[in-house]
A = this chain, B = another copy of it.
Amino acid sequence: MELGLVGLGKMGGNMRERIRRAGHTVVGYDRNPDVADVDSLKALVDTLAAPRVVWVMVPAGAATASTIDELADLLSPGDVVVDGGNSRWTDDIAHGKKLGEKGIGFVDCGVSGGVWGLQNGYALMCGGAEADVAKVQPVFDALKPEGDFGFVHAGKIGAGHFAKMVHNGIEYAMMQAFAEGWELLEASDEVTDVREVFRSWQEGTVIKSWLLDLAVRALDDDEHLDKLKGYAQDSGEGRWTVEAAIDLAVPLPAITASLFARFASRQDDSPSMKMVAALRNQFGGHAVESK
């Protein structure tokens, strides 16, 4: 089939390649003319035969919103827009409504895979009407990994990004689990070769997982991670997961602890611990460490 693809960065570029390898036609547009197949969104739309499928793969937020706005003006009833970026699921509702008013379908699609996706395939979680999803299915089939898994139509518009958001929340806590275990092993005098312990866990254990494999790779590069700072960004989905949980009154202690550990990792000094130190000083004459 024919696909319009907007956004040809690292992720979008690799996805174009994987879709083409599956025998489909991809017309790509990007603000960077060096990687684009056409020189405007309009040219992209004009190149495609109706009914069109246009996949948006640009940064979440303003860039995605303005791209969808433009497409709402350019596309025709019966066309379908896919948002494959890291949009918040609540944005999908608004985007779907705007496009729906013009008779254009909308499918939101959470995409997992990172730098490994081109080779191994991308896990896809999508939301939208059955008929709209069906129009995109050949592209989903091209992008997903071999085998029975890696694609799900999770529900109505927003469900794809919601599912991807929760995936990332789980990922936060799994990473934190390995991180805490590793820190404890490194701190102990008992275990003399922590890396080999991690390596051994890759088979026969309850915790065998791709993240564990990656941890072993990282330790093979740098046994005690001496080259890294204990500084971790968060990318939005972790925050949204906790916010969704708060809205639904769902307790999420491990995922939230993982998010807060990242927040704390980015502080040069902890304001709250200054207050604790100040209080200890006030009531107890406890020694505090002054600057």
Tell me if A113 counts as interface (CB < 8 A to partner B): yes
**Dominant secondary structure at the A interface:** helix
| Neighbouring B residues of A48 by C-beta, 8 Å | none
Tell me if A34 counts as interface (CB < 8 A to partner B): no
Pick from B121, B155, B183, B208: contact of A192, CB below 8 A.
Answer: B155
| Neighbouring B residues of A33 by C-beta, 8 Å | none
Pick from B127, B192, B214: contact of A159, CB below 8 A.
Answer: B192
| Neighbouring B residues of A244 by C-beta, 8 Å | 184, 188
Contact status A149-B203, CB under 8 Å: yes
Tell me if A62 counts as interface (CB < 8 A to partner B): no
Interface mask (A245-257 → B, CB under 8 Å = 1, otherwise 0):
1101111111111
* Distance of A146 Cα from B203 Cα, bound (Å): 8
Interface mask (A161-187 → B, CB under 8 Å = 1, otherwise 0):
011001111111111111111111111
Tell me if A25 counts as interface (CB < 8 A to partner B): no
Q: Which residue of B lies closest to A146 (CB)?
A: B203
Residues of A within 8 Å of B, CB-based: how many? 142
> Which stretch (A49-57, A74-82, A269-277) binds chain B?
A269-277
| Neighbouring B residues of A290 by C-beta, 8 Å | 227-229
| Neighbouring B residues of A122 by C-beta, 8 Å | 204
Contact status B231-A273, CB under 8 Å: yes
Q: Which residue of B lies closest to A265 (CB)?
A: B273
Given A207-B174, A229-B289, verify A250-B183 contact (CB < 8 Å): yes
Separation in Å of the A72 CB from the closest CB of chain B? Answer: 23
Contact status B177-A113, CB under 8 Å: no
| Neighbouring B residues of A125 by C-beta, 8 Å | 197, 200
Separation in Å of the A249 CB from the closest CB of chain B? Answer: 5
Interface mask (A125-136 → B, CB under 8 Å = 1, otherwise 0):
101000000000
Tell me if A258 counts as interface (CB < 8 A to partner B): yes
Chain A residues 148-162 with CB under 8 Å of chain B are 148-156, 158-159, 162
- Beyond A145-B203, A167-B181, 9 extra complex contacts between A and B, CB < 8 Å: A152-B199, A167-B201, A171-B206, A174-B209, A175-B276, A206-B283, A215-B279, A218-B281, A228-B289
